[in-house]
Amino acid sequence: MFETAEIGHKLSKERYKREEPKLRQALLEAQYQLLEKGKFPVLLIVSGVEGAGKGETVNLFNEWMDPRHLRAFAFGKPGPADKGRPVMWRYWQALPPKGKIGIFFGSWYTDAIVDRTRGKTGKAAFGRELDRIRRLERMLSAEGVLVVKLWFHITKPQMKKRLKKLGSSKLTAWRATANEWKYYKDYDKFRDISEDAVRETSTGAAPWHVIEGYDPQYRSLTAGRILLSAMKHRLEGEMPTLPSPAPPATPPLDGHNILKSLDYAAKLTRPQYDKKLDALQAELAYAMRSKAMRDRGVCAVFEGMDAAGKGSTIRRITRALDARYYRVIPVAAPTEEERAQPYLWRFWRNVPQPGHTTIFDRSWYGRVLVERVEGFATQFAWMRAYQEINEFEAEMAESGILVVKFWMAVTPEEQLKRFKQRKEIAYKRYKITAEDWRNRKQWPKYEQAVCDMIERTSTDMAPWNLIAANDKLHARVEVLERLVQAIKRA
Closest CA to 469 of 321, 277, 259, 329: 259
Q: What is the pLDDT of residues 427-456, one digit of tens each?
A: 777 778 888 888 899 999 999 999 999 999
Q: Measured between alpha carbons, how far is 392 from 386 in angstroms, rounded to an integer?
A: 10
Tell me which CATH code domain 270-489 carries. Answer: 3.40.50.300
| CA distances for 99 relative to 31, 57, 192, angstroms | 8, 21, 37
Mean pLDDT for the chain overall: 94
User: Which pLDDT does position 422 carry in this prediction?
Assistant: 87
**CATH classification (class only), 2-236:** alpha beta
Side chain identity, residue 76 = G
Q: Taking 80 as the threshold, does the pLDDT of residue 248 lie above it?
A: no
Q: Measured between alpha carbons, how far is 420 from 418 in angstroms, rounded to an integer?
A: 5
CATH 3.40.50.300 domain extents, the chain: 2-236, 270-489
Which band of pLDDT confidence, cut at 50, 70 and 90, is reported for residue 246?
A: low
Q: What is the pLDDT of residues 93-133, one digit of tens each?
A: 999 999 999 999 989 999 999 999 999 999 999 999 999 99
Q: What is the pLDDT of residues 312-367, one digit of tens each?
A: 999 999 999 999 999 999 999 999 999 999 999 999 999 999 999 999 999 999 99
Q: What is the pLDDT of residues 386-430, one digit of tens each?
A: 999 999 999 999 999 999 999 999 999 999 999 998 888 877 777
- For residues 303 and 405, is the Cβ–Cβ distance under 8 A? yes
